[in-house]
Copies of this chain bind each other. A is one copy, B any other.
Amino acid sequence: MLLSKIAQYLELEFQGQDIEVNALNTLQDANKNELSFLDNPKFISVLDSTKAGAILIDEKFKDKIPNTTIALFTNEPYLNLAKITKLFAPDILENKGVYPNIDKSAKISPTAYIAEGAIIGKNVQIMPNAFIGDYVEIDDNTIVYPNVTIYRDCKIGKSCIIHAGSVIGSDGFGFAHTKTGEHVKIYQNGNVIIEDDVEIGANCTIDRAVFGSTIIKQGTKIDNLVHIGHNSIVGEHSILVGQSGVAGSTTLGRNFVLGAQSGVAGHLNIAPFTTVAARSGITKSIKESGKTWSGFPFFEHKEWLKLQAKIARLLK
């Protein structure tokens, strides 16, 4: 899509030669045919090194924009970004006649739905009423139980098990907000990548990334009714216990253990071999690996136990 079309859609102007915009992306990752945005001034230093072909940005930062990046000035960059995400959203179900590529050894239920361009590996089992979206890839020996939904473009590794009712690749929860309190959807054009040997319980939800991928790394085991937000990365061999959740854009190190009904906030980094006890809420990044944390607000587990003992003494 031409940048001029985008500018016109947003009723914004720009100076310089028109360019072809293939996608939206973050400042760090955008290339010369991608449009990015700067909304939070704390990321302004990223401007120096961006390769983005164009950017939605407040005019007050105009001196900081590299020569190679065309500016679309607006005092609501994020809201304008949101408005155009829809233009880049692919069809939910395409109709181009691209046959799925299903290995002969795969067992596909006649009532499962395998969409265009999907690739299904050896010995994969897709059970009744599962939905496999456009261009989804499912590698060898994976089992998809009934009533699972895998949205388009997601990739599932080898020897995974996805239990009934789980949803992989639904839209991340992302909106820009107008001054009058409405929410404009940011279409989530990324995907979910699930690596090998991952097991996902029943009725879980793993959201697709806005750009790039939400990633569940190798060997991770997820219990039932667990939620993983968009753009999060769950480290190798992690254990996420029932009804726990991870908000968006958080990176969990390997062998992370998240207790039942616990949560991890968004935009955090959690060191490897971290354990979080049941019913805890982690709201800050954790740098030291190998520790156990509890509570909300959270403390090191031993400290939390001490604190609870002291609190209980208030009763006396």
A interface residues, Cβ below 8 angstroms from B: 92-93, 107, 109, 111, 113, 125, 127-129, 131, 143, 145-149, 151, 161, 163-167, 170-171, 173, 175, 181-183, 185, 199, 201-205, 207, 219, 221, 223-225, 227, 229, 237, 239, 241-243, 245, 247, 254-255, 260-261, 263, 265, 273, 278-279, 281, 283, 296-297, 299, 303, 306-308, 310-312, 314-315
CB of A158, distance to nearest CB on chain B (Å): 14
CB of A122, distance to nearest CB on chain B (Å): 17
Contact A243:B243 (CB < 8 A) given known A278-B281, A315-B303: yes
Whether A224 pairs with B173 at a CB distance below 8 angstroms is yes
CB of A220, distance to nearest CB on chain B (Å): 8
Whether B263 pairs with A243 at a CB distance below 8 angstroms is yes
A243's partner among B164, B227, B303, B308 (CB-CB below 8 A) is: B227
Whether A151 pairs with B170 at a CB distance below 8 angstroms is no
| Nearest B residue (CB) for A237 | B181
Whether A111 pairs with B109 at a CB distance below 8 angstroms is no
B residues in contact with A111, CB < 8 Å: 111, 113, 129
B residues in contact with A107, CB < 8 Å: 93
Whether B243 pairs with A183 at a CB distance below 8 angstroms is no
* In the bound complex, CA of A263 to CA of B260 (Å): 8
| Nearest B residue (CB) for A266 | B260
Q: Which of A161, A164, A183, A242 has the most CB of B within 10 A?
A: A164
CB of A36, distance to nearest CB on chain B (Å): 24
CB of A227, distance to nearest CB on chain B (Å): 5
Contact A227:B229 (CB < 8 A) given known A128-B131, A181-B237, A281-B261: no
